[in-house]
Amino acid sequence: MAYIRTIDESAAEGELAKQYKRGANPDGSVDNVLKVHSLNPASLGAHMDLYVQAVHMPSAVTRAEREMVGVLVSWLNGCGYCVAHHARGLRRELGGARGEVVDGLERGEIVGVNEREGAMLRYAGKLTVRASEIVEGDVVALREAGLDDREILDVVQVVGYFCYANRVVLGLGAALETEEKLGHHPSV
């Protein structure tokens, strides 16, 4: 499951049990990306707080747009775990429509998107792999695609979260859950 010791849900006590309950799937299981924090419940709580802020809080950047960014960033970082989880989430958000978008992002390709989505994804890709090359013109391109400064900030937060989560997963060897568990998201 991971390169380090983790604590199973059944053995969790105190603050860890509280954090596990907060991040549990509907069936009570906890995703491995969260379990790798089990030796440090404060770290687990901080991870969930960052996830909720970047992906779930109200924003003019839609949940589907945030999932698109998450899938692309995760693909660019080589994180199959997050690609699988968030491609499933994106499919749910799109309600079965626009499957070519999800299929493309799962291959690291930007296809079937509108101008706004394309601008966000190109920016997210550059920020992920060439962050030191970001210039004001990259932000101007986002504005020209219709994003305001708050939305731009939110896109950067999503990119930052996924780069963080990808490194946690890859650095600690969090294994992908079984197929029947895959796709659940914590109700944090």
- Is residue 33, in this structure, part of any structural domain at all? no
- Is residue 39, in this structure, part of any structural domain at all? no
Residue 96: its pLDDT value, please?
A: 83
- Is residue 69, in this structure, part of any structural domain at all? yes
- Is residue 16, in this structure, part of any structural domain at all? no
136: containing domain:
61-167
In degrees and rounded to multiples of 5, residue 46 shows phi and psi of -65, -40
Residue-wise pLDDT tens digits, 104-118: 999 999 999 999 999
Residue 183 pLDDT > 90: no
Residue 1: its pLDDT value, please?
A: 79
Say how far apart CA 45 and CA 145 lie, in whole Å: 35
Residue 177 pLDDT > 80: yes
Average pLDDT, the chain: 94
Residue 174 pLDDT > 50: yes
What does the pLDDT average to over 44-56? 97
- Is residue 187, in this structure, part of any structural domain at all? no
Residue 139: its pLDDT value, please?
A: 98
Q: What is the DSSP letter of 131?
A: G
Say how far apart CA 157 and CA 151 lie, in whole Å: 10
pTM metric for this prediction: 0.92
Q: Indicate which CATH number applies to the domain containing 96.
A: 1.20.1290.10
What does the pLDDT average to over 126-132? 98
At 42, is the pLDDT very low, low, confident or very high (cuts 50, 70, 90)? very high
Residue 134 pLDDT > 90: yes
- Is residue 15, in this structure, part of any structural domain at all? no
**How many Cα atoms within 13 Å fall on the side-chain side of residue 156?**
12
In degrees and rounded to multiples of 5, residue 121 shows phi and psi of -70, -40
At 178, is the pLDDT very low, low, confident or very high (cuts 50, 70, 90)? confident
- Is residue 104, in this structure, part of any structural domain at all? yes
When divided into structural domains, the chain yields a total of 1
Residue-wise pLDDT tens digits, 3-30: 999 999 999 999 999 999 999 999 999 9
Residues 90, 71 contacting (CB under 8 angstroms): yes
